Amino acid sequence: MRIIIVGSGLSGLIMGHCLFKAGIDDFVILERRPDPVERSGSVIGLFPQTFRIFDQLGLLADIKKLSLPLHHWLHLDPQGRTIYDGEFFDLLETK
């Protein structure tokens, strides 16, 4: 049986990594875009549950080397009004 993972986003790539670590190599990751790296100015936000998964997979140290912590978050609505302005991510890390 061949496993098909649809989407090369964070979840799809983690699933592929988990299968590989489990010794399952008959899988393919499909992506509809010609370039799976989105270059639209977006970011990948990692929350505590994601860090736990990375730690379990032995990837957390590498992720921390490649990333920058975000401390202050300013979230605006489409009209430019402030929805949130604060140290949300510092609160997450503390908890």
Please indicate, yes or no, if residue 41 is contained in any of the structural domains.
no
pLDDT digit string, tens, across residues 37-61: 766 655 667 777 888 888 988 988 9
**Which pLDDT score, from 0 to 100, does residue 38 have?**
66
Domain coverage including residue 14:
1-34
Tell me, yes or no, whether 40 lies in a domain. Answer: no
CA distance 5 to 26: 11
pLDDT at 81: 92
Q: Which residues of the chain have pLDDT under 70?
A: 38-44
Kindly state whether residues 51 and 77 are assigned to the same domain.
yes
| 29 shares its domain with 59 | no
Do 29 and 50 share a domain, yes or no? no
Question: Rounded CA gap, 8 and 21, in Å?
Answer: 17
Whether residue 54 is found in the same domain as residue 94: yes
Q: Which of 1, 57, 17 is nearest to 9 (CA)?
A: 17
Question: Is the residue at 20 inside a domain?
Answer: yes
Indicate whether 39 belongs to any domain: no
Number of separate domains in the chain = 2
String of b and e for 7-37 (b: at least 16 CB within 10 Å)?
ebeeebebebeebeeeeeeeeebeeeeeeee
